[in-house]
Amino acid sequence: MPRNLLVTGGAGFIGGNFVHHWCARYPDDRVVVLDALTYAGNRATLASLLDARRCEFVHGDITDRPLVSSVLERYRIDTVVHFAAESHVDRSIADPTAFVHTNVLGTQVLLEACRSAWYQNGVWQAGARFHHVSTDEVYGSLGPDDSPFTESSPYAPNSPYAASKAGSDHFVRAYVHTYGLTATISNASNNYGPYHFPEKLIPLMIVNALHGRRLPVYGDGQQIRDWLYVADHCRAIEHILNGPNVSDTFNVGGRAEHRNLDIVRQVCALLDERFRSTPTLAARFPDCPAAHGISCATLVAHVEDRRGHDRRYAIDPTHLSTQLGVEPQETLESGLARTVDWFLDHESWWRGVMDGSYRQWIADQYGGTA
């Protein structure tokens, strides 16, 4: 049966990729996007789908209970996929308030609206389900020889961002246990790919290199992350939604642990190669060292480390693999190549999202302008 999906944060990075993925796979489903269009949300991410009337867009905040309830009722929503969140650790360190407001309160408001809409006369609506998208950062940091995180790993969030996501996870579990809501959670490792707002490591390195600006690497750059191409995350969520209609938690990883500095060097090598093979790039990006036969890696600059910077994250996705048969399709090499090519091919998109406030924030954080 066709579904009526509400995708919160669907104009953001992972949410936007998911909306494209779902609309392509399930054209008979109704997809409604609810997004507050904060600095990281961009209608342009959904422009082709909106123009083709493949999805519908509602501008609003998930903390607005009357609005959320009206959307659930108006569109007869039976499936919620909850991406909406403040997600940048640096910003959470500077000011945690927005993270508590959106990630914790917003999730609780959304859960309560779903409970009111789907629980009538002591019976839950058949097939209704809530999926919450979370992060591996709720588990804290691993030592170099520690086993990867599993779904039973204890929560030990170390940043305000991670703490706010842990709080939202706990609220989802509380609604499952206390009220009987059917809900799933996916705790994913570091995503990267198309439509990625250029404040996170990979898109920031790409955009800065194209402008000939320094590539800031925190501390010694030896922090290890498990990298997950965003399309593989979207496929995992698809399988979760199509799996048994029971509450469960799934860790989603890319089986690709790499040091941050190595990631930056790989991005630089890809850009160097693209400029060598495509001479017209030099005219488009004359400030990039690669336009003059110089490696982008010369722009790497080690900067003061982030406060409380977790040293290593790693995800064990065995539960997802054994229960639902999901494995990542992209290697780090293929995923990075696709990402670099996407940013080179979609200059208008990333220039369009870099508004004045973002430019100033980049200047404050990293020096120079964006």
Q: What is the set of active-site residues?
A: 136-137, 161
Cα–Cα distance, 353 to 343 (Å, whole number):
13
Angle between helices 332-345 and 260-277 (to 10 degrees): 50
Residue 313 near residue 142, CB atoms below 8 Å: yes
C-alpha torsion 265→271→277→282, nearest 10: -140
Cα–Cα distance, 291 to 108 (Å, whole number):
50
CA 91 to chain centre: 15
Q: First-to-last CA distance in the chain?
A: 46
Cα angle 237-37-49, degrees, rounded to a multiple of 5: 60
Which amino acid is present at 249?
T
Cα–Cα distance, 218 to 311 (Å, whole number):
11
What are the backbone dihedrals phi and psi of residue 195, each rounded to the nearest 5 degrees, phi first?
65, 20
Q: Please state, in angstroms and as integers, the Cα–Cα distance from residue 5 to each residue in 29, 32, 115, 120, following that order.
A: 7, 6, 16, 20
Query: For the sheet containing 248-252, what is the strand order?
Result: 56-59, 30-35, 4-8, 79-82, 129-135, 183-188, 248-252
Cα–Cα distance, 121 to 316 (Å, whole number):
41
